[in-house]
Structure 1
Amino acid sequence: MAKTNAGRFFEDYQIGQVIQHAVPRTISGGERALYHAIYPARHALYSSDEFARSCGLPSSPIDDLVAFHVVFGKSVPDISLNAVANLGYAEARWLQPVYAGDTLRASSEVIGLKQNSSGKTGVVYVRTTGYNQNDAAVMSFVRWVMVRKRDSEAPAPDTIVPQTAPHVAAADLVVPDGMTFENYDVDLSGESYRLGDYEIGEKIDHVDGVTIEEAEHMMVTRLWQNTSKTHFDVGQRPDGRRLIYGGHIISMARALSFNGLANAQMMVAINSGAHANPCFSGDTVRAWSEVLDKAETSAPGIGALRLRLVAYRSGAAFELRGEDGKYLPGVLLDLDYWALVPT
């Protein structure tokens, strides 16, 4: 009997199936150090224990996207080991901060299936939840991924495409217990802009760019224990190229957004996200943002900005779609998210 795991194929999933993902991961300060070495991440809340304490937290949490990547990585061997591509996200919420010493695990529920017209692949929709060592949920998100079929002749399942909310309501955003921006120090954060300084519809060019290196993207993808073959094995694609993990682009774009959004300290929700085009080593990633909405929260001194974050490798800032309504070929990521800012 074979003891190795070839991963699940499209026909192995069933609606309502719940999968407990293996290998819990204890987070340490090493994750933060390597994360900040790979990305130009500089938000003060995730860089300084003292700054975090001034905001009512016991210490600096681990970067919000570290928690996302770890939980996502837990799900890969069961959900996307045989993926062609991860397609999108919705209804993502960070439910409480993750600190060094926390141990994260994850489970996923299959909530949708749709076979593609070619009969060779299908789209699997799952809701993944990450938990800490106290069995408290730290985050939850829906994602959908295109997965290969083992047998192209296998019958197609009934098509079920889940209806996800167009965005997370501002009232459903979770502000960590005790967090306050009443004594927020704009000198230490790096910019003076607060909630009232941003206007709905405003667009911000984040100016800087970073060229993606092959070794760096594989190193960080391994850090999250993401085993998707397409990121490491040149035999997985006809062109012999390794596809850059989409989360790598999210983190890079978020880090680049510091220039203009330094006070968008904490991501608390992802409303939707699309990896518009594949990214490969040698591409230079740049980013721009658009303010979609603003909201107050019940926490002292804390507001929320709803932001569109676009990463692109060619073209110009603020270009997104062509006349046909499709993403331009240079656009890599279109991410709609909420972030907490001082009022």
Structure 2
Amino acid sequence: MSERGHKTSSGNYFEDFTVGQVIEHATPRTITEGDRALYGAIYPTRFAVPSSAVFAAAVGLAAPDGSGHPVEELIGFHVAFGKTVPDVSLNAVANLGYAECRFHRPVVPGDTLRTRSEVIGLKQNSNGRTGVVWVRSTATNQRGEVALDWVRWVMVHKRDAAEAAPETVVPELADVVAADDLVVPVGLDFTEYDAVAAGEPHRWGDYVVGEKIDHVDGVTLTDPEHMMATRLWQNTAKVHFSAQARPDGSQLVYGGHIISMARALSFNGLANAQLIAAINAGAHAAPALAGDTIYAWSEVLDTAETGAPGVGALRLRLVATKDRDESMTLRGEDGKYAAGVLLDLDYWALAPR
């Protein structure tokens, strides 16, 4: 009889990573219409482009017969992210942040995504028991074309606290994806944009820098929904499923679940922010658990023109909170995130001019 666990994997610990290491993640995944349906069942999303093949065709993102109808950008993100979990964050304490995420082309049903990551930074924490790992991940489709790429950093347990610390390497990351570096999908044309079908009249020029938008609606998290979502993305992080993974016996809600929930809630006030072009930065400010009720608000950080007909870009801060915060306060006087803030996400979205 073989040794118990000989053929199984317990995931990588901090000391298993080296700067420059390249990891080819297992299990490519084919996107289907079922992903679109399940995403809509889990999140209250109503954006017109991924919801309607007819609307997508009218703005140049699907064929007249509806083929090539893109799914939500975050479906591609979650699937690609999930591929990295067994190798990067199975033994994570927490996912700390995102940067330099660009969506290079729409993901459509039939596309098969696979992901590879390169370790670009390491820093052991002062407690000697954990460390931070930075990785740059790239998801490609079945034709080898880049669908999206991003950087994230995660705090990972050490296997042996006595193991010597590696040389500290902290990568320099851009604070924001430059507007000129945004990738506008080929064929996108908002000149004949149907604002009635989209759900709101507010166009790119109606938003001003500094404006805050309270998205009003709230959704209460449940264990079955967030656990089903995380399984859908094949995210194997123990803290989302096992009551034995955390001292309090609770299942931690996947941070991406909060991103998708907040993005869906932002429809009320930003219905025409149709496509996510880039994620500049993101921080999960506090954990979320089943029973929490999630609300969201947005702040306009910048605007930019693009070369595509009728298309402008809005740089938005999307904030998710536990319970509603009518004051829309991000940080307290001490500079720390205000009580109740769960997510602080800085992203670019494409909207009709």
**TM-score interval, normalised by the smaller of the two chains:** over 0.9
1:329 aligned residue: 339
* Structure 2 residue 89 is the aligned partner of structure 1 residue 80: yes
1:142-157 equivalences in 2 (<5 Å): 142-157=151-166
Structure-to-structure mapping, 1:159-198, within 5 angstroms? 159-198=168-207
Is 1:50 paired with 2:59?
Answer: no
Aligned partner of residue 336 in structure 2, secondary structure: coil
Q: Does 1:342 align with 2:346?
A: no
2:235 equivalent in structure 1: 226
Where does residue 100 of structure 1 map in the other structure? 109
Q: Is the 8 A contact 2:100 2:278 kept in 1?
A: yes
Q: What one-letter code is carried by the residue in structure 2 that aligns with 1:301?
A: G
Say whether residues 1:264 and 2:273 are aligned partners.
yes
Output the CA distance in 2 between the equivalents of 1:314 and 1:260: 19
In 1, Cα distance between equivalents of 2:124 and 2:243:
26
Does structure 2 retain, via aligned residues, the 8 Å contact 1:287–1:311?
yes
The one-letter code of the counterpart of 2:336 is: K
Aligned to 1:15: 19
User: Are positions 1:24 and 2:19 aligned together?
Assistant: no
AA at the equivalent of 1:27: I
Report how many residues are paired: 343
| Contact 2:101/2:148, CA 8 A, preserved across alignment | yes
CA distance in 1, matches of 2:343, 2:301: 16
CA offsets per residue over residues 297-337 of structure 1, 9 Å max, x none? 00000000000000000361311111111012310000000
Q: Deviations over 1:172-194 (max 9, x none)?
A: 00011111101100000000010
* Higher mean displacement: 236-245 or 275-284: 236-245
Partner amino acid for 2:152?
A: R
Partner secondary structure for residue 150 of structure 1: coil
- Aligned alpha-carbon RMSD (Å): 0.8
Q: After superposition, what is the alpha-carbon deviation per residue over 1:236-295, rounded to whole angstroms, capped at 9, x for unaligned?
A: 111111110000000000000000000000001000000000000000000000000000
Aligned residue for 1:295?
Answer: 304
Distance, in Å, in 1 between the alignment partners of 2:33 and 2:306 is 30
Q: Whole-Å Cα distance in 2 between the matches of residues 179 and 266 of structure 1?
A: 10
The percent identity for this pair of structures is 64
Give 1:158's match in structure 2, choosing from 147, 152, 167: 167
Q: Which residue of 1 aligns with 2:65?
A: none
CA distance in 2, matches of 1:236, 1:174: 40
Question: Gaps (5+ residues) in structure 1?
Answer: none
TM-score, reference length from structure 2: 0.96
> Does the CA contact (< 8 Å) of 2:283 and 2:345 recur in 1?
yes
3-state SS of paired residue (1:305)? strand
Q: Which residue is 1:244 aligned to? A: 253
The 8 Å contact of residues 314 and 331 in structure 1, kept in 2 or not, is answered as no
Q: Aligned partners of 1:95, 1:21: CA distance in 2, in Å? A: 20
Structure 2 counterpart of 1:198, which letter?
Y
For residue 11 of structure 1, report the CA deviation from its aligned partner. Answer: 0.1
Partner of 2:70, secondary structure, is: coil
Opposite residue 325 of structure 1, the aligned amino acid is: G
Match of 2:43 among 35, 39, 42: 39
Q: Which moved more, 1:233-242 or 1:100-109?
A: 233-242
User: Moved runs in structure 1, 4+ residues, more than 4 A?
Assistant: none
TM-score by length of 1: 0.99
**Partner of 1:281 in structure 2?**
290
- Cα deviation 1:41-82 (Å, max 9, x = unaligned): 000000011100100112420110000000000000000000
In 2, distance between residues paired with 1:262 and 1:95?
A: 22
The residue type paired with residue 174 of structure 1 is V
**Matched AA of 1:324:** D
State the one-letter code of the partner of 1:238: P
Contact 2:130 2:158 survives alignment (8 Å): yes
Q: Does the 8 A contact of 1:47 with 1:60 survive in 2?
A: no
